[in-house]
Chain A
Amino acid sequence: MVDFMKRALELATEALVAQEVPVGCVFTIEENIVAESRNCVNITHNPTRHAEINCIDFILHYCKTNKIDYKCYFTNITVYVTVEPCIMCAAALQNLKVKEVVYGCTNDRFGGKTVLDVSNFCDHSYELTGNLLSIEAMCLLKQFYKGTNPHAPESKIKKKKDS
């Protein structure tokens, strides 16, 4: 378990180096990694490209090419992600009926449990555990927010600094 989160943290560090919000994620089935990714919102100009969404897309592609029923495949997946999935990602994971989600630190701004409990909207809900290597995950976020998002327009950065 810890090893998977350590791998997710490596991916999050990669994101930080690439000047992306440092969140990393691995999908596992029976103790094997089947997908891994990190946040890539800035490079794609698509604010939905969170680590979890990238992993989901990877699995969907994998299932399609190998003619596997993705609906069944996802039900065996355990997700390790450095930050509590946001409302969007939590809903996506819930719709796909993944088995379990393990996260590092809580997400006070967008958390799919902390800010709005997405499990109230779906009949299926996965097992959710937090606080695995949360300090490490939080440290990466702090490092990122100490700097500014270099891809946001100048005026927005200034506003942020002023406030």
Chain B
Amino acid sequence: MSVEIEPPVKKAKTFANEDDYCNKIIDKCIEDIKNSQKNLEPVLSDDFQKSIPLIKVFVGIIKDPKDLSRTVLMLNEKIPLKELQHLKRIRKKEVILCPTNFIIGMSSIQQYIECNVEELKDTFQYFKELDVPLSPPKVKQQFKEWNKIWSCNFHPNVYLEKLVSGNFFAPTELNLHRTYMEIAFEVSRWYILHLNLNTNEDDVFRNINSAVIVDPTTQSVVAVSFDNRDANPLQHSSMLAIDNVAKTQNGGVWSTEDINPDRTLSGISEELLNYLKPRYPSVRFGARKFISKCDISSDEYNGNPSDGPYLCTGYYAYLIREPCVMCSMALVHARVKRIFFCFDNMFDGALKSKSKLHTISSLNHHFEVFTGFL
């Protein structure tokens, strides 16, 4: 999603004008997020797409419908459908025999049947090749489409149905998510002013890239960050945010000038915190108290299994822009629970535009991704 920005009329600008320009864009984004009537959209794996992946199979047309159940029993035993379990084996007088590539090395499907299920060699009137759905339908909508091609088995999953309903978040939840995204823009505004950045209109969008990390269990902002890649190419906003969360857990490696002596608040610069608090009086700031292993005596430990925060486990990340590959994987390592972003990153976005890292099943942690704030 891109935002329409009116090109500035004059080319030559003073500092004040540029600040003003930047402020106006941020104001507009915040305003638009506030007024958005849309629910947020999940970024789902490609299996949720409308187009149906197909596979070619042989179908036999049965001579005598009375033989159907006996035939299916025999086929299930001798030529099980395996990966195609989601398909019903019969449709009227048609019976799925096997994928067409099964008969490699044989002259015909008739020969294949004779070799594998001798008893059925005279059961079929004729054979044909047919395209059928390769994978099981994930949601009702797909189930309907799949069924037009071939009858499928399907067990709806309540959570997935809700995800694709276009109505996932309740209004109160939406308000929270929008507020945290607004804070991401406010963080950018503060850093641009604070660092006296000379942002011209071309790189306003590159430079306003911030992250806000929230603990949803306490509804509290744990850490924030502002992209610093021009000074250090590793310091994208997500990488910085992860380090700022580490600071709330007695860790962190990248120093900041004014680290808060209160550890639970050390994920946010003190000055910035003073700027944000009056603007968002209803928002809480700070992490749950970190419990290090050494702090807990062993009997206490056995008595109370509830752990303090561990990395970004259970946290939500609000990012102005879709993160790049490096940042997306960093957020996997950090075990973030959900990621919300505002703008697509067509250049190297790894959660929607160029790849969907969170849908790679072999990774050991998976977060959910939502967008559609504007």
Contact = CB atoms under 8 A, between A and B. Distances in A.
A132 to B, nearest CB: 24
A66 to B, nearest CB: 16
Contacts of A118: 325
A153 B251 contact: no
Contacts of A12: none
Given A109-B363, A154-B301, A45 B293 contact: no
Contacts of B233: 60, 70, 92, 95-96
B243 interface: yes
Residue of B250, B327, B333 most packed against chain A (CB within 10 A): B333
A35 interface: no
A92 to B, nearest CB: 5
Interface stretch (B51-59, B206-214, B303-311): B303-311
B234 A86 contact: no
Contacts of B243: 46, 48
Nearest to A86: B329
Contacts of B327: 88
A152 B242 contact: no
B334 A121 contact: no
A153 B310 contact: yes
Contacts of A86: 329, 333
Interface in B346-374: 348, 350, 354-355, 357, 360, 362-364
Interface string A83-107: 0001110011001100000000000
A147 interface: no
B14 interface: no
B101 interface: no
A156 interface: yes
A121 B325 contact: yes
Contacts of A96: 233
B252 A88 contact: no
Interface residues of A, number: 34
Interface string A120-163: 01100000000000000000000000000011111110000000
B305 A155 contact: yes
B329 A88 contact: yes
A81 to B, nearest CB: 16
Contacts, number: 97
Given A110-B329, A116-B357, A45 B246 contact: yes
Nearest to B349: A121
B253 A46 contact: yes
A108 B305 CA distance: 32
Contact of B362 (A47, A48, A109): A109
Chain B facing A: main interface SS: loop
B233, B251, B329, B348: most-surrounded residue (chain A CB, <10 A): B329
Interface string B261-296: 000000000000000000000000000000001000
Interface residues of B, number: 39
Output the residue of B251, B307, B328, B363 with the most chain A CB within 10 A: B251
B251 A44 contact: yes
A116 B351 CA distance: 13
A43 interface: yes
A49 interface: yes
A53 B326 CA distance: 11
B239 interface: yes
Nearest to A47: B333
B249 interface: yes
Indicate the member of B253, B301, B334, B335 with the most A CB atoms within 10 Å: B253
Contacts of B252: 44-46
Contacts of B310: 152-153, 156
A139 to B, nearest CB: 21
A76 B355 CA distance: 29
A88 B332 CA distance: 9
B234 A56 contact: yes
A115 interface: yes
Nearest to A118: B325
A64 to B, nearest CB: 9
B329 to A, nearest CB: 4
A70 B333 CA distance: 27
Nearest to B327: A88
Contacts of B333: 47-48, 86, 88
Contact of B355 (A56, A116, A154): A116
Contact of B363 (A48, A115, A122, A154): A115
B221 interface: no
6 contacts: A45-B246, A47-B330, A88-B329, A88-B330, A91-B324, A154-B301
